[in-house]
């Protein structure tokens, strides 16, 4: 990859800004808007922000992240040396986001992408009551819970896993449907379904039991209806060092105690 087509973006943290200064002194960069690939400095949250910005602008290029945050699951190790060699030997993984279409109590409509997951969450102490559809078929007439989420393989180790959802191998072409603190049906623990599946959620009694819908980090409050499906119109590309590739990291999370 030519140095002339490489852009650099850093989160506003002190550590990331210092790392940015180091890299700018060592390598040549172009403006991100003109780059053929982007190096991102920060944590997982900043990586998601960067990817969402690409989706909004509809200008998607491969991204190589270096961790200056906490977990850094979507990032590579921070090391300013031999960057050209790392980029040349990196492995690229395709990630297809979800699309969340929402209607609110006030009749407003929103459509937002989600790279990790779409979550429906109760807004008050009142338990949520949600009708769940899979491909237009009602599979749960009334799910009583704190919420429910749909997770991609890339996001299956995040909020989904904390909610006792399954880890999905990258490339499995599956999605996880996971309840959050389910009360009824008490024994239902979720489902793994093909990525072509369309999910529909209808909030029962939304005025008394208000629910918000969250696409990764973006929240829409007081929803009455949420539809979720894979958005095949855009595919993201994440680059990883071969020894820290995303598919291996997701698979090995199943053995973390």
Active site residues: 44
Q: Is 45 annotated as a binding residue?
A: yes
Q: Please give the structure tokens belonging to residue 95.
A: 């990630």
- How far, in Å, CA of 148 to CA of 44, rounded? 22
What is the C-alpha separation between 183 and 210, in angstroms, rounded? 17
255 appears as a binding residue in the annotation: no
Q: Which two tokens stand for residue 81?
A: 């040396």
215 is in an annotated binding site: no
| 19 annotated ligand binder | no
Count of residues making up the chain: 257
| Residue 157 annotated as part of some ligand binding site | yes
Q: Identify whether the C-beta of residue 190 lies closer than 8 Å to the C-beta of residue 178.
A: yes
CA separation (Å) from 152 to 12, 36, 146? 28, 26, 20
146 is in an annotated binding site: yes
> Does 116 count as an annotated binding residue?
yes
Q: Is 160 annotated as a binding residue?
A: yes
DSSP letters for 21-73: HHHHHHS----GGG-SEEEEEE-HHHHHHHHHHHHHHT----EEEEE-SSS-T
19-24's contacts with Cβ under 8 Å and 24+ in sequence apart are 19/66, 19/68, 19/78, 19/80, 22/80, 23/80, 23/83
DSSP letter for 92, please.
Answer: E
Annotated binding site: 44-45, 116-117, 146, 154, 157-162
Q: Which residues are annotated as a binding site for NAD(+)?
A: 44-45, 116-117, 146, 154, 157-162
């Amino acid at each position: 990859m030519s140095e002339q087509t490489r852009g650099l973006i850093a989160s506003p943290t002190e550590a990331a800004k210092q790392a940015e200064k180091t890299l700018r002194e060592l390598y040549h960069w172009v403006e991100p808007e003109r780059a053929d690939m982007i190096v991102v400095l920060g944590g997982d949250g900043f990586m998601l922000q960067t990817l969402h910005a690409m989706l909004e602008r509809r200008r998607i290029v491969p991204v190589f992240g270096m961790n200056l945050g906490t977990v850094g699951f979507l990032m590579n190790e921070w090391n300013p040396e031999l960057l050209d060699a790392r980029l040349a030997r990196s492995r690229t993984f395709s990630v297809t986001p979800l699309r969340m279409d929402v209607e609110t109590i006030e009749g407003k409509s929103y459509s937002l992408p989600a790279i990790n997951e779409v979550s429906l969450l109760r807004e008050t102490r009142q338990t949520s009551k949600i009708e769940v559809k899979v491909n237009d078929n009602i599979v749960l007439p009334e799910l009583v819970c704190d919420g429910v989420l749909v997770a991609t393989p890339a996001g299956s180790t995040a909020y989904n896993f904390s909610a006792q959802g399954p880890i999905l191998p990258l490339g499995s072409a599956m999605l996880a449907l996971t309840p959050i603190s389910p009360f009824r049906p008490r024994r239902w623990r979720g489902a793994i379904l093909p990525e072509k599946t369309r999910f529909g959620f209808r909030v029962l009694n939304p005025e008394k039991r208000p629910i918000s819908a969250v696409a990764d980090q973006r929240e829409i409050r007081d929803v009455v209806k949420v539809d979720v499906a894979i958005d095949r119109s855009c595919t993201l590309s994440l680059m990883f060092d071969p020894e820290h590739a995303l598919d291996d990291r997701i698979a090995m999370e199943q053995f973390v105690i």
